Amino acid sequence: MPALARVALLPEPHPSSATFAADVLAGLKAEPKTLPAKYFYDHAGSRLFERITELPEYYPTRTELGILEQHAADIARLLPPECAMIEFGSGSCKKASILLRAAPQVAAYLPVDISSEVLHHEADVLRRDFPKLAVVPLEADFCQPFELPPEVTMLPRAGFFPGSTIGNFEPHEACTFLRNAGRILGPGGIFIIGVDLVKDRAILHAAYNDAAGVTAKFNLNILARINRELGGNFHLKCFEHHAFFNRERSRIEMHLASIKRQKVKIRGETIEFRSGETIHTENSYKYTIKSFSALARGSGWTVRASWTDPNKYFAVYALRYQDEPSRSGR
Ligand code: AVJ
């Protein structure tokens, strides 16, 4: 049996979906209360997120797509010949398609996602659009150890991590993620990463407080999911969506605030809320070109190139792993 490359992306991998209940109860018993952002993306949540990406106020998706389209040829030139491209948390393959069209040297594409339904559907679409490409979907939480199939272990590797999903990690977790991604992609491996940039507070605020209320629905859906999957009795009307830019920590914070003193039951346990108490549901870190470059360098990567839009709202990076071992060894 061929040896499988087992790789851990975080020192303490997030538990699997089987422990949704345990994660939820631990988060809601903590002070302050929290819920892991990855649980936003059940079927309803994934659909709401798709709607967010189409909102006029939500600039990241269309800005990143514009950068990828504009610079696809430059990005493609940096990808190794006959390489395997691994996408972390792929969801829709729209962004990967732009790169794959410009980079015919990519021999295999490996989307990694927890949502098997979306994963296999998107893989079929790609197989139709790129008949010569080996499409190998991996159903896994990219924060947990996952196995690379033996047929790609011989190929040079490129990574793709668009959408500023890296902004959901604490900076020290982003560092661990980048180091472990380096282990998967190998010395000389190229990593293409999308990063949302610090900008005017009003623009950030609007992107997470859209007029149509889709982001509020997306945030509240995590309570609806707890009701559906764990038999909780959250009254969604008794919680409100809060999102604001925390400049000191350079992050958008999303919370769900209890509008009154109340009790909620989940799996026989009672959770008490003070009036105004919040559940912290998401951080979305915003970087500058300088701060993200420093994070990448501190995690064993060299910045080969970065591209932004004319407004400098968003950046796409091309990193190279252990490019200059003599210098990065310090
Ligand atoms: C998918 C994590 C990049 O932080 O902008 C969108 C998620 N949350 N609106 C982001 C999100 C609220 C999104 N990421």
pLDDT tens digits, 141-182: 888 777 889 888 899 999 999 999 999 999 999 999 999 999
> What is the CA(37)–ligand 1 centre distance, in A?
9
- Which ligand 1 atom sits closest to the C-alpha of 164? 3
Cβ atoms 276, 256 nearer than 8 A = no
Q: Which of 165, 203, 156, 211 is nearest to 184 (CA)?
A: 156
> In the predicted model, is pLDDT for residue 1 greater than 70?
no
8 Å CB contact between 16 and 144? yes
CA 211 to the chain's CA centroid? 24
Token code pair at residue 78: 């940096």
Rounded to the nearest angstrom, the gap between the alpha carbon of residue 248 and the centroid of all alpha carbons in its chain is 22
d(CA 298, CA 151): 31
Residue 6's pLDDT is 46
pLDDT, position 90: 74
Furthest C-alpha separation in the chain: 60
pLDDT computed for residue 324 by the predictor = 55
Residues sharing a CB contact under 8 Å with residue 328, sequence separation 6 or more, in sequence order: 297, 300, 302, 322
For 13, residues 6+ apart whose C-beta sits below 8 A from its C-beta are 141, 143, 144, 145
Peptide bond into 32 cis (omega under 30): yes
Instruction: State in Å: Cα 49 to ligand 1 middle.
Output: 8
Is residue 280 predicted with pLDDT exceeding 80? Answer: yes
pTM summary value? 0.92
For the stretch 146-182, what's the b/e string if a residue is b when 16 or more beta carbons lie within 10 angstroms of its beta carbon?
bebeeebeebbbbbbbbbbbbbbbebebbbbbbbbbb
Q: Is the CB of 282 under 6 A from ligand 1?
A: yes
Quick one: pLDDT band at residue 309, thresholds 50, 70, 90?
A: very high
The CA 206 to ligand 1 mean position distance, Å, reads 13
pLDDT of residue 236: 98
Q: Which own/partner contact pairs does 37-41 have at CB distance under 8 Å and 24+ positions apart?
A: 37/168, 37/281, 37/282, 37/283, 38/14, 38/114, 38/141, 38/143, 38/168, 39/222, 39/225, 40/218, 40/219, 40/221, 40/222, 40/281, 40/282, 41/114, 41/115
Is 11 a residue whose pLDDT tops 60? no
- Distance in Å, CA 132 to ligand 1 centroid: 33
Quote the pLDDT of residue 148.
87
The distance of Cα 294 from the centroid of its chain, to the nearest Å, equals 20
Rounded CA gap, 255 and 246, in Å? 12
As a whole number of angstroms, the distance between CA 260 and CA 274 comes to 7
Residue 9 predicted with pLDDT over 80? no
pLDDT tens digits, 184-195: 899 999 999 999
Distance in angstroms (rounded) separating the CA atoms of residues 302 and 323: 6
CA 171 distance to own-chain centroid: 14
Tell me, using a 6 A CB cutoff, whether residue 221 lines ligand 1.
no
Return the H-helix or E-strand segment holding 125: helix 116-129
Give the mutation target among 282, 314, 316 for probing the ligand 1 site: most ligand atoms within 8 A of CB.
Answer: 282
Amino acid at 63: T
